[in-house]
Amino acid sequence: MTLKMDTLLADGVTIVACTGRIVFGEEASGLRESLKKLLETTKRIVLNLSGVTYIDSGGLGTLVGVYSSARAQGADIKLTGLGQRLRDVLAITKLATVFEVYDTEQEAIAAFKGSRS
Amino acid sequence: MKGGFSPFPLGLIPVIICTQEESRVLRLMAFQPISGITSDPGSGVFPSLIYVQGNEQRSIVMNRTPFSVGRKVDKDLVIPDPRVSRDHALIVAENGDFFVVDQGSKHGTYVNGERVQRQRLQRNDRVEFGVRDVAYVIFSPQHATSNTAREFLSQISGIQISTDTTDLEKLTLFLEAARKLNTVGVLDEILVTLVDTTLKLTRAERGYVFLKDEEGNLRLAAGRNSKGEALLDDKTISHSILDEAMKSNSEFLFTDTSQSLDLAVRQSIVAYDLRTVICLPLRKPQVQTFRDASNPAEAEVMGALYLDSRFASRDISSVSHDILRVIATDTASLIENARLVQAEEASRRYQQELAIAASIQQRLMAVTIPEVPFARMRGRNLSCKEIGGDFFDVVHTEDGLAVVLADVSGKGVSAAVLASTLQGMVYAHLIARMKLTDIMASVNRFFTQKHLGEKYATVIITRIRKDGELEYVNCGHVPPLLVSQGSVMRPQHGNLPVGLLADATYEGDRVQMKPGDRFILVTDGVTEAENAAGDFYDNERLEEIAAKSPTLEDIFASVSTFCAGAPLGDDCTVVELEYTG
């Protein structure tokens, strides 16, 4: 497995810092299972992808899948720390209009506070 | 192997069709047919026939007697030829033999070329009904594989190495040779030969091999008597001894009426007039180094070899224990080997199925490019795996020439199944002249409603009209390239991929093409082709070569030069649509 996930709680928001590659296979399923588990106890997750070097089509599918199920249960996942390549991919696939993307962790956390969701 | 082991090799089944008188005799002999085997062609109680007509032949299981042959449609075998009489002949069973009986036919019934009224049928007899040569029946033919295997085995078991060769050595020799056999269905043959040899060695009267099926129940796999006749399951087999042997830790169970103290066992032995029963549990062979000889019971029991003799016949209580031990261990490894051969065969068939699926997929994905006066289309795909997730298709309707290029997430068989479904939907919708945006919305709806587990596809669909107006709907794809007079534009309009979000909406865009303009669609396998240093081929290089060269081959050559031998990580597909005016 080439994906590491570190979880940290700040101001009632769970921050998940990912390091490595999010690719189809055990990395994508690992991410899905971890986030699913977190969603049992929290409704506010910030996914920091600054340590992620590569996301393939399967990994992207997983991100959207987890995001959709979070929204369906009244929770939210916001993204931060996106590299240029991931920004490009989100732009091409128009997924940038689906995810809420922030430049910094602080901005993402602040967005949760503002929304009071 | 589905459905467990065929209890008998072809043709070694005692025939149990009889008159009441015979039925009484058979009941006295306590033969019991095993339920469920009669439906299995070739290994059932009834023999099979091979009906040959011209170049075609089919196998018929005679599932009843009398078995009628004639021109009438209600016959068991209908031969629609004027030379065949309406009620031509019957095949009847008597005393375990089969006879063909002519019913006063006009053109006669022939067995091996001779006209007959009534004739006993033997294996491989050729039977003709009125019409000769054009259509005929082979009675109870021997299975080709079984034939060779059985002949081979009988050669081995009958071999005389030297006068000093003991039966035990012969058995070992036989087992050795049988292990090397690589024939399908050979297990039945091995078991029969094994029981025969064992009966010879032990001088027991009857021998049976029982094997556990998938549910763990013992099923008869072979049964023979000392005369070499096949036996079916029988109420006189002591199942209490069998059960005990399966549960026991010992290498074999030897029961003599004079020694057994167990009341139940004694009763069954006495009831069936058995003098001696030897039952050898067959344990799965284990790797030598891990084998704990003091505790053989740890190995999985896969069946049992059962030998017995009745009071009336010989005494087998003096059989050497060494012989029994050798038989038990060697039989087990023999069966295990035969099963491995069968598993290998099953896996080979599975591979074949996959190869067939792959070839169907390839044919589905094969594109016939239609000739249209105003446009030219070219496409090329380079797969990184045998079955990939990329595909393109082209459909010409009165609305224009439509081209679709898709990249299904993931790779392998799952991606191929989705690609085929997607292709079929898009094709059908295009033929129905649906709006491109509606097609994508429909596909998205289908994919999201089916919950395909995060599987989705990026698709770009485009249609060019006679007047050069080109409409495209880009669903998550790399932006297309519009090459016009040596300059490259990237029309940026796009939508979400299909299959990700149920509430996604799809919009298209239009560009006006001039004669000579090219619209190039690529999958991300091209832009994300990586070289050894980890750099991507990317858009700049793609645009540069597209502006410079009018051929797809040059684009692929440029990618390949860039990668310099680094293997492709994803399928690469390029499709080009040129407006000729």
In this predicted complex, what is the ipTM? 0.82
Domain that holds residue A29: 4-111
pLDDT average, residue stretch B461-471: 94
Q: Looking at CA atoms only, how far is residue B521 from chain A in angstroms?
A: 14
What's the distance, CA A13 to chain centroid? 13
pLDDT average, residue stretch B155-184: 53
Query: What is the tens place of the pLDDT at every residue in B210-226?
Result: 888 778 788 888 888 88
Does the distance separating the beta carbons of A60 and B494 come in below 8 Å?
Answer: no
> Looking at chain B, which residue has its C-alpha nearest residue A29?
B454
Q: Looking at CA atoms only, how far is residue A11 from chain B in angstroms?
A: 31
> Computed from CA positions of residues B421, B423, B426, B432, in that sequence, does the dihedral angle turn out positive or negative?
negative
Task: Report pLDDT for B197.
Answer: 78
| Confidence at B159, pLDDT banded by 50, 70, 90 | very low
> Which residues are CB-contacts of A114 (< 8 A; sequence separation ≥ 6)?
none
- Written as one letter, the residue type at B350 is Y
Per DSSP (E only), the strands in B164-310 are 206-212, 218-225, 253-256, 274-283, 301-310
Q: Looking at CA atoms only, how far is residue A50 from chain B in angstroms?
A: 19
Q: For residues B274 and B236, is the Cβ–Cβ distance under 8 A?
A: yes
A58: nearest CB among B409, B495, B501: B409
Does the distance separating the beta carbons of B477 and A64 come in below 8 Å?
Answer: no
Total domains present in chain A:
1
| Confidence at B299, pLDDT banded by 50, 70, 90 | low
* A7 contact B CB<8A: no
Does the distance separating the beta carbons of B476 and A92 come in below 8 Å?
Answer: yes
- Structural domain contains residue A74: yes
B456: nearest CB among A28, A61, A92: A61
Does the distance separating the beta carbons of B455 and A93 come in below 8 Å?
Answer: no
- Structural domain contains residue A38: yes
3-state secondary structure of B398: coil
Phi, psi at A61, each rounded to 5°: -60, -40
Task: Report pLDDT for B81.
Answer: 84
Task: Report pLDDT for B463.
Answer: 95
Q: Which residues of A4-23 are buried (b: 16+ CB within 10 A; e: fewer)?
A: ebeeeeeeebbbbbbebbbb
User: Beta partners for B135?
Assistant: B53
- Structural domain contains residue A116: no
Structure tokens given for B518: 């090219």
Give chain A's mean pLDDT: 87
Q: In the block, which residue shows the tokens 């190039």?
A: B520
User: Beta partners for B401?
Assistant: B396, B464
Q: For residues B258 and B277, is the Cβ–Cβ distance under 8 A?
A: no
Task: Report pLDDT for B512.
Answer: 94
Task: Report pLDDT for B232.
Answer: 77
> Looking at chain A, which residue has its C-alpha nearest residue B448?
A65
Could you tell me the CA-to-CA distances from B101 to B83, B89, B121 in Å, in that order?
17, 6, 10
Q: For residues B127 and B137, is the Cβ–Cβ distance under 8 A?
A: yes
- Structural domain contains residue A67: yes
- Structural domain contains residue A101: yes
- DSSP secondary structure letters along B417-462: HHHHHHHHHHHHHHHTT--HHHHHHHHHHHHHHTT-SS--EEEEEE
Query: What is the tens place of the pLDDT at every residue in B186-209?
Result: 677 777 877 887 887 777 888 888
Q: Return d(Cα B136, Cα B79) in angstroms, integer.
A: 9
| Confidence at B13, pLDDT banded by 50, 70, 90 | very low
Q: Are strands B572-579 and A3-10 parallel, antiparallel or unpaired?
A: unpaired
Task: Report pLDDT for B290.
Answer: 44
- Structural domain contains residue A40: yes
- Structural domain contains residue A78: yes
Task: Report pLDDT for B229.
Answer: 80
* A53 contact B CB<8A: no
Task: Report pLDDT for B118.
Answer: 92
Q: Where are the alpha helices (DSSP H) in B319-365?
A: 321-365
**Which CATH number goes with the domain that contains A106?**
3.30.750.24
Q: Looking at CA atoms only, how far is residue B573 from chain A in angstroms?
A: 16
Q: Which residues of B touch A58 (CB under 8 A)?
A: 409-410, 454
3-state secondary structure of B194: helix
Least confident of A104-108, B117-121, B310-314: B310-314
Could you tell me the CA-to-CA distances from B238 to A42, A64, B204, B261 in Å, in that order?
66, 64, 15, 15
Q: Which residues of B touch A60 (CB under 8 A)?
A: 409
- Structural domain contains residue A117: no
Structure tokens given for B49: 């026939």
B457-464, strands of its sheet edge to edge: B390-397, B400-408, B457-464, B469-475, B509-512
B410: nearest CB among A24, A64, A93: A24
Query: What is the tens place of the pLDDT at every residue in A17-39?
Result: 999 988 888 888 889 999 999 99
Does the distance separating the beta carbons of A58 and B494 come in below 8 Å?
Answer: no
